[in-house]
A = this chain, B = another copy of it.
Amino acid sequence: MLRLYDYLPSGNGYKVRLLLTQLAIPFERIDLDILKGETRTAEFLQKNPNGRIPVLQLDSGGFLAESDAILYYLAEGTPFVPSDRLDRARVLQWMFFEQYNHEPNIATVRFWMHSEMTDERRAMLAGKRKNGYAALDVMERHLAGRRFFVGESYSIADIALYAYTHVADEGGFDLGTYPVIREWLERVRAQPKHIPITQG
């Protein structure tokens, strides 16, 4: 059985949990406490040299890291990845946007608020806020007139961007002026076999 090294509050872990559930693939979840350094042990660094969850352990014993790479691996050949070559690349475009422009701002501030707001972090807050809202602006513009991010059907690009957008308020981001994003969140939530981030 697939084994997912995970941390329940993590949106990156949630992406994989959500897709596995929607694909009806059974998996075992191993919860690691990232606040206690459980992903930086010598043993875990053998699984992912970058010391982060999620990591997927395959039936072969091999390991795969990076949430969006895991999504792609699991979804290839299913309706969650477009069959058209250009649309498939556009799914990757939005997943790279998610990891470069969205996650380091919106997810990071949420993590700081859940864990500890140090002086060093507080000094970076205004920049993170500005860049996070800039990412939301890009999403709002792109989704106007569209049902989903790519090719008008639900894909792993939507899963990747849903994970931290739907809990952006936990990092103090206000979606009040983003009606298009809020409608898209509802469409994602209405997909078959949807689960909340709190479900392990």
Select which of B58, B60, B70, B92 is within 8 A of A69 by beta carbon: B92
CB distance from A97 to the nearest CB of B (A): 6
CB distance from A69 to the nearest CB of B (A): 4
Binds B, one of A17-25, A83-91, A171-179, A189-197: A83-91
Asked if A7 CB lies within 8 Å of chain B CBs, one says: no
Assess whether A86 is in contact with B72, with CB atoms less than 8 Å apart: no
User: For A73, what are the chain B residues with a Cβ–Cβ distance below 8 Å?
Assistant: 85-86, 88-89, 92
Select which of B67, B72, B95, B138 is within 8 A of A50 by beta carbon: B138
User: For A86, what are the chain B residues with a Cβ–Cβ distance below 8 Å?
Assistant: 58, 60, 62, 64, 73
* Bound Cα distance A66, B88 (Å): 13
Q: Which applies to chain A's interface (DSSP): helix, strand, loop or mixed?
A: helix
Asked if A142 CB lies within 8 Å of chain B CBs, one says: yes
Asked if A68 CB lies within 8 Å of chain B CBs, one says: yes
Assess whether B100 is in contact with A141, with CB atoms less than 8 Å apart: no
Asked if A44 CB lies within 8 Å of chain B CBs, one says: no
- Chain A interface residues (CB < 8 Å from chain B): 49-50, 58, 60, 62, 64-70, 72-73, 76, 85-86, 88-90, 92-93, 95-97, 99-101, 103-104, 120, 123-124, 127, 138, 141-142
Known pairs A68-B96, A69-B93; list 6 more (Cβ under 8 Å).
Answer: A50-B138, A66-B93, A66-B96, A69-B92, A69-B95, A99-B100
